[in-house]
Amino acid sequence: MRDLLIAAQVAVCLVLMIAGSLLIRGSIHAVDMNTGYDGKHVINVEIEFPDGSKYNPSRREALMRAVRTKIEALPGVAAVTDGRAPDGGGVRSAAVSLTGDKSSGNSRQYAFYTYVLPNYFQTLGIPMLSGRVFQSQQGVPQPAVVVSESQAAELWPGQNPIGHMLSLDTTNQFHSKTESLPDGVTYTVVGVVKDTRGVQLDSSDNAQIYLPLAEDRLREHPLLVRTQADPVTLMTEIGSEIASVDPNLVAYTSTLDDMLHETGPFVVSRAAAAFATIVGLFGLLLASMGIYGTVSYIVVLRTREVGIRMALGASKRSVLAVILRESTRPVLAGLGAGMVLAVGASYVLRTLLYGLGTVDAVSFIGVSVLFLGIALLAAYVPSRTAMRVDPVVALRYE
């Protein structure tokens, strides 16, 4: 029963520690991941307008233009564009139908789309792989789209997407009543850009379709400011400039890196890593105490046996090896069971493990070796006590 309890305790604690290690490594990978855009030098500026008839759509449009002009004139500002950042949320999904393409069978699938200005990709540092960006005439955007690399591979595998046409249908998809919808328009693909990472750690939202943003819809999208100076200092200056345009405007500024780290999946990943690690460390402490106490008790029971073995010629090393071998047997059984359970746990946590496989060798092997080392130490310390018994006293007593 003692061996069974030790094995169960070791297995549970090992699962917790491996899960904590996986979540920590996943969080580190997520923070250091290549997003596909420059998040350190691009500032997201969200502006909220007061309620009331004074701030009608035309008034808001004029204020946005004035704010943009003020920000563009600031020293250290390299470019300003409108559109939602890849990690800023607000993207919408629509059913995609390929038109005029008989080879694709007029396939229909769902994809993410977002509205941007032509200089969006240059401002965020998103590489253009082929084709070009949008073009507009007298403020009217052309019916053209730019797709991400993975989106192009999904819609036209093995083909050049430039020149292909598609249409979008937002029926039964979430959107607000006042926002612009892409329905009823046939778009031509004019460019392909590099993938960008969104808020999902599993990269499920990196396939995007970029639509041209109309100038009368600028008020609905945040400003994205690329800076050559310190972003923190520039954010303070941006706030002052917005207040000078209209003191009733409320502005929220942050770098795209900060926005990414504050998104739900990243926060959940870090919180889960911290929780699992703390619980796992407490479990390791309790397991070590349990192993130490159990081995100490077993050594006390076998003190006379140890003395007799040594009186009959057994060396301290051989006696110590016997005790350690029998003491660590339930520990090894618990490690084996814990490894199997940890595989199942890592499969459950796979959505939080960015850049890691279901079985991460570093986490599994590293934690197991650490756990085994601590278990051996916990068994070794009381076993050394048995080596101090006087063989003559043990024989007399026997």
- Most confident of the ranges 61-65, 271-275, 368-372, 386-390: 61-65
Q: State the greatest distance between any 2 C-alpha atoms of the chain, in Å, as a whole number.
A: 109
Q: Are residues 335 and 287 in the same domain?
A: yes
Q: Above 50 in pLDDT, residue 84? A: yes
Residue 318 belongs to some domain of the structure: yes
Residue 128 belongs to some domain of the structure: yes
Q: State the residue for tokens 């002009």.
A: 69
pTM beyond 0.75: the answer is no
Q: Are residues 230 and 352 in the same domain?
A: no
HSE value, Cβ hemisphere, 13 Å, CA-based, for 192: 16
Q: Are residues 286 and 331 in the same domain?
A: yes
Residue 381 belongs to some domain of the structure: yes
Contact of 99 with 185, CB cutoff 8 Å: no
Domain that holds residue 211: 84-220
What is the average pLDDT across 222-235? 89
Q: Are residues 138 and 118 in the same domain?
A: yes
- Kindly indicate the confidence band of residue 190, based on its pLDDT and cuts at 50, 70 and 90: very high
> Would you call 106 helix, strand, or coil by DSSP?
coil
Q: Are residues 192 and 162 in the same domain?
A: yes
Q: Are residues 56 and 131 in the same domain?
A: no
Q: Are residues 66 and 118 in the same domain?
A: no
Exposure of 61 by Cβ count < 10 A (0-12 exposed, 13-18 middle, 19+ buried)? Answer: middle
Residue 23 belongs to some domain of the structure: yes
Q: Are residues 234 and 121 in the same domain?
A: no
- Most confident of the ranges 98-107, 328-337, 359-368: 328-337
Q: How many structural domains does the chain have?
A: 3
H helical segments located in 50-208: 57-72, 120-124, 149-155
Output the average pLDDT for the chain. 80
Residue 257 belongs to some domain of the structure: no
Query: Percent of the chain scored above 90 by pLDDT?
Result: 12
As a whole number of angstroms, the distance between CA 239 and CA 148 comes to 33
Q: Are residues 210 and 228 in the same domain?
A: no
Q: Are residues 179 and 269 in the same domain?
A: no
CA dist list (Å): 253 to 120, 224, 242, 389: 18, 10, 11, 72
Q: Are residues 188 and 216 in the same domain?
A: yes
Q: Are residues 120 and 230 in the same domain?
A: no
At residue 105, the pLDDT reads 45
